[in-house]
Structure 1
Amino acid sequence: MKLTNVKIPDLKIPLFEATPGQFWCILGRNRSGIDTFFNLLSPGHWKIQDAEIRLPKDMGIFSFAGQQAVFEQELKNDDTDFMDRLDPGTSARAFIHDPDQHADMIRAFAMDHVLDQGYRQLSTGQTRKLLLLSRISSGSRWLLIQSPFDGLDKAGCSQLDLALDHCRSCGMGILVFVYDPGDIPLSATHIAVIENGTMTRSGSRQEILPRLFDLQGQANFSANVTDLKLAETAFSKGVASGETPHSKELIRLEDGHAGYSGKSVFSHLNLCMSPGDHTLVSGPNGCGKSTLLQVITGDHPACYRNRLWLFGTRRGTGESIWELKKRMGIVSTELHRNYRVSGSVLDCVLSGLYDSIGLYRRPGPEDKKKALAWLERISLSDKAEFAFRTLSYADQRLALIARALIKLPGLLVLDEPTHGLDRTNRNAVLDFLSQVAAEKLSTILYVSHREDEFRDFFVSHIRMENEPPSGIKGFCQPHGQ
């Protein structure tokens, strides 16, 4: 692989060369040009005058867009409407070419115990590992991987790092693209840095790592306190007559349980949240963190089989889920995958006021002003009229966070919301959530496996575990214990 004299609007690369057996880590902030470089390496996509671009033909590419394409194909094949149960999707085994031949690699990825599960039964981290296994088992001698560690717990990151190092030792060439210096794989042999649209340095790990500059900068998502107070007033006026956001419990789940196709994902879980009880949920991949949130938001049928109350109302008693969702703001990988409609970035943020995927009402001038203020806050105001689907994955995720926060809901449900964000944007989101918590504007239910996201404003911490044969007990305790 060799690139020479690359000059395009978002990226300049004087020289980049990688050979089989090398493990390159490409590091850059969101909007630095790193995503342009990733796309540049997709064979057949670019012809640049005066540039030399030599790419291997046997490239296995893993990207956010590719993962989305698999998800959309699974939706097309969903037969749930014709079955008496949820269609689990294509079996994990079917994604891997000759599973028996690749048994050692499957075990290295800790995926041997889920091969007979359906794609839609897997956690986000497990689907990422499965698609990587699919690329490796197809015979690719080069791997091009976008943000490989997003969605993986600490053990999963270590397993993946070791598995990729094993691939390198077998003579494969590997390029991983990360947005945070903390995500540089331990087994990477080489590092290249992209800043402000230019590859500023590249070389061996020993050469680059000691001189690695701080890429993080100073992003700022903090809202003006006056803006927050005005939003709080607007929210309070929208609450049902005679009720305040602090008058009832937000969530009560007693002996909670959920699963798929007769297999339990979690059980014996108790959760109670009142206004101000900001709660962190953590645990390994596959333990049911996202499933728990789906039960709470009404996106899993187990919500009707549980003793579950939302905003004081028992689920399954004739209540409208849409009335309940008016009081929630939600960011999740599932929402991101389902947000497939056409429409602008501004439309996306505005749709949060109506709890819709896409914008189907004509917003008033005040609503537009509020949405534009949020886009300014996340540094996307210049892309307000861009099509949402044309943004990078990271910018799409920021827009969805603004969509959730625009109405400052009583309950803010965030399922690993910082996927694809660099450290600056991740910290800026968390700093803003700290301010939301301090101003008592929303109560936060937050899923994460990243220890650098465990902030002091969390009051309680639910630590979930993978379900053993005897059943598990997810438990809630004061944060920090």
Structure 2
Amino acid sequence: MNSIEFKHISFKTDDKTILKDISFDLPEGHSMAIVGPSGCGKTTLGRLIAQKLIPSSGEILFPEGAVCQMVEQQDNFMTVSRIGSSYYGQRYENQGMDEAPSVQSFLQQTTSDVDWVMLLMDIAHLKNSKLMQLSNGERKRTQLAAALLEHPDLLVLDQPFVGLDVLSRQKLTTQIGELHQSGKAIVLICDPLHLPEQMDWVLVLGNGRLVQWVRRADYIPERLVEDAPETMEHSFAELQVSSEDQFEFAVKMNAVNVVHGEREILKNINWTVRKGERWALMGPNGAGKTTLLSLITADNPQGYVNDLTLFDRKRGSGESIWDIKKRIGYVSPELHLYFLRGKGIFNTIPGLEKSISSGGNSLRCDEVITSGFNDQIGFSSSNSDYQKKAVKAWFPILQLEHLSDSRFADASLSEQRLLLLARALVKMPSLLILDEPCQGLDSHQIRRFTRMLDVICSHLETTVIYVTHYPEEIPQSVTKLLQLENGQVKFCGSFFPES
């Protein structure tokens, strides 16, 4: 494959300029990484390289006949499975799953020659699993398999390490290196901390402009500037409220089991979360973490047939799903997938959808945060003066003041995730469940968020369940750990986060 040339490329949507005067030349057979702060235009540049977008000005020269494939950060499995409900608990009820494609049938929509790629991406054992019942890591590997079946000359990977456990991340890094050695050109959008050595070039973006275009060996990541603790304390002061929710046990599980078909997902789980405790929940992809959380959030009907107590009340004793949800603040990659925006849930890149005729596409960022008060997905109902004040206060706390009057669809993917974090926190819940909350955030945003959570925990008695693959992302306020492996408890006890 010959070189790709970018000559003074700019990209605009409506009245917003996303990329400005980008020029570089990627030599034949070379790989490159695109890095930079969240919202700087990395995904848009990746989509231009993959020929999914047309530049507003400038010229891109591609080798004749080159086949380009892009693996998006978010998959389209919901659309493929024809699931239109915004109720994400549907996956645990198996409603409408009979006609949903399996991994093998999904890949055969691309080509019938799937055995080799399933073995390559370590998903052969999942060939009969339904797409919507895969873990985050399994979904990512299936996305990559589908792209490889097109035999691309150039492969654009948008944050492929997001949602992967440590071993899966190491394996994918090795696979990327092998693909590069086989002659494929690789364009990798990633965090500077997870930049593979196999990359030849690094392109650094800042505010839509080209900041650096250097050899991998010459790249030096920018140092982070930390916020002063007193600054965050001051921003949080307006939100202080006293919790009147009285309970002893947020969660109490006794010999809990969950089975889907012939597959045991959880086996004999015993776990108690007392009021005010902060737990980390860890385990490799497919260990059962998401299913465990679905019992707590009342989305999994198998909670009724298990010895499960939530907020001192045994599950199935007359409480409604919404009685439970009103006491929980929740954010997860799955919730992001199901949150209504645009004409579908996958319109996350500015410029892909210009029409604002659909309700979701005109949803504003403040409405997204407000919807957390009543656990709504989509438009929020009317809100009180206190709620309006609380929502307004979250924008400077998360450094998102520039989005206070913007549409949710115009925010970058990481900015959308921060808005959903604010949605979970806005009602100051008794139990805060954060399922991989730092997924897709840059290093600065991760450190700021974990510090913010420590401040919240120092002021309130909020009980926390914090799910992550990476110990270094766990806030200092988290002091207990439940570790799962193959659906069973591997460790349950005290934990001391890395400083």
TM-score, structure 2 normalization: 0.85
Q: 1:48: Cα distance to partner? A: 3.5
> Aligned to 1:195, which of 201, 206, 210?
206
Alignment CA distance shift 1:110-1:235 (3 Å): same
**CA distance 1:407–1:187, change in 2 (3 Å):** same
2:156 to 126, 144, 153: 144
1:37 paired to 2:49: no
Aligned residue for 1:262? Answer: 262
Q: Does 1:398 align with 2:398?
A: no
1:438 to 443, 458, 462: 458
Hey, what's the Cα distance between the residues in 1 that align with 2:495 and 2:30?
42
User: Match of 2:142?
Assistant: 130
- The yes-or-no answer on 1:479 pairing with 2:495 is yes
Moved more, 273-282 or 213-222: 213-222
Structure 1 residue 296: Cα displacement: 1.0
Q: Partner of 2:309 in structure 1? A: 309
Contact 2:258/2:264 (<8 A) preserved: yes
After superposition, give the CA deviation of every residue in 1:108-134 in whole Å (9 maximum; x if it has no partner). Answer: 422222122111221011101101110
Deviations 1:44-87 (A, max 9, x none): 522433x221246511111135x1x3323324389x99x99552
Contact 1:336 1:400 in 2 (8 A): yes
What pairs with 1:229-240 in structure 2 (closer than 5 Å)? 231-233=239-241, 235-236=243-244, 239=245
Residue 52, structure 1, aligned to residue 75, structure 2: no
- Contact 1:123 1:286 (C-alpha < 8 Å) held by counterparts: yes
CA distance in structure 1 between the aligned counterparts of 2:142 and 2:45, rounded to whole angstroms:
24
Does the 8 Å CA contact 2:46/2:187 hold for their aligned counterparts? no
Is the alpha carbon distance of 1:222 and 1:401 closer, same or farther for their aligned partners in structure 2, counting shifts above 3 Å?
Answer: farther
Please provide the CA RMSD for this pair. 2.7
1:26 to 15, 21, 34: 34
Task: Quote how far apart the aligned CAs of 1:226 are.
Answer: 6.8
* Match of residue 92, structure 1, among 96, 103, 125: 103
- Whole-Å separation in 1 of the counterparts to 2:73 and 2:304: 33
Residue from 32, 48, 70 that aligns with 1:61: 70
Match of 2:485 in 1: 465
* Alpha-carbon separation, structure 1, partners of 2:447 and 2:93: 44
Cα 1:265–1:19 shift into 2, 3 Å:
farther
Inter-partner Cα distance in structure 2 for 1:44 and 1:31? 19
1:170 deviates by: 1.8
Residue 106 of structure 1 aligns to which amino acid in structure 2?
M
> Which of 207, 211, 215 is the matching residue for 1:204?
215
Conserved 8 A contact 2:192-2:221: no
Residues 25-47 of structure 1 show CA distances to partners (whole Å, capped at 9, x for unaligned) of 11111022323322433425224
Residue 159 of structure 1, CA deviation: 1.1
Q: Which amino acid aligns with 1:131?
A: Q
- After TM superposition, give the deviation of residue 99 of structure 1 in Å: 8.1
Structure 1 window deviating more from structure 2 (162-171 vs 141-150): it is 162-171
Asked whether 1:17 is paired with 2:25, we answer yes
Q: In 1, distance between residues paired with 2:28 and 2:300?
A: 45
Query: What is the letter of the counterpart of residue 151 of structure 2?
Result: G
CA distance in 1, matches of 2:441, 2:319: 37
Say yes or no: does 1:107 pair with 2:114: no
Contact 2:365 2:406 in 1 (8 A): yes
Distance 1:85 1:383 in 2: 37
Determine if contact 1:43/1:55 at 8 Å carries over to the other structure: no
Contact conserved, 1:20 with 1:142, CA < 8 A, in 2? no
Shift of 1:378: 1.2
Q: Deviations over 1:134-163 (max 9, x none)?
A: 011122221111111000001101111111
Match of 1:423 in 2: 443
**Counterpart in the other structure of 1:249:** 249
Q: Distance in 2 between matches of 1:84 and 1:433?
A: 33
Which stretch shifts more, 265-274 or 20-29?
A: 20-29
Q: Which runs of 5+ in 1 are unaligned?
A: none
How far does the alpha carbon of each residue in 1:415-473 deviate from its partner, in whole angstroms, 9 at most, with x for none? 10111100000111111111122223411101100121133322211111125xxxx34
1:71 aligns with 2:78: yes
Letter in 1 for 2:141: K
User: Does the 8 A contact of 1:219 with 1:424 survive in 2?
Assistant: no
Supply the distance in 2 between the matched residues of 1:219 and 1:41 (Cα, whole angstroms): 35
Percent identical residues: 25
Q: State the match for 2:319 in structure 1.
A: 319
CA distance in 1, matches of 2:268, 2:390: 42
- Where 2:119 maps in the other structure, the secondary structure is helix
Which residue pairs with 2:291 in the alignment?
291
CA–CA distance in 2 between the matches of 1:441 and 1:276? 5
Answer yes or no: is the 8 Å Cα contact 1:149–1:157 preserved in 2.
yes
Tell me which residue corresponds to 1:2.
5
How has the CA–CA distance of structure 1 residues 411 and 167 changed in structure 2, closer, same or farther, with 3 Å as cutoff? same
Q: What is the alpha-carbon distance in structure 2 between the residues aligned to residue 442 and residue 198 of structure 1?
A: 41
AA matched with 1:4? K
CA distance in 2, matches of 1:480, 1:116: 40
Cα gap change, 1:326/1:223 in structure 2, threshold over 3 Å: closer, same or farther? farther
Does the 8 A contact of 2:41 with 2:208 survive in 1?
Answer: yes
SS state at 1:352 partner? helix
CA distance, structure 1, for counterparts of residue 6 and residue 239 of structure 2: 50
Distance 2:270 2:230 in 1: 34
Q: What TM-score comes out, normalization by structure 1 length?
A: 0.88
Cα 1:460–1:96 change in 2 (3 A) is same
Please report how far the alpha carbon of residue 414 of structure 1 lies from its aligned counterpart in structure 2 after TM superposition.
Answer: 0.7
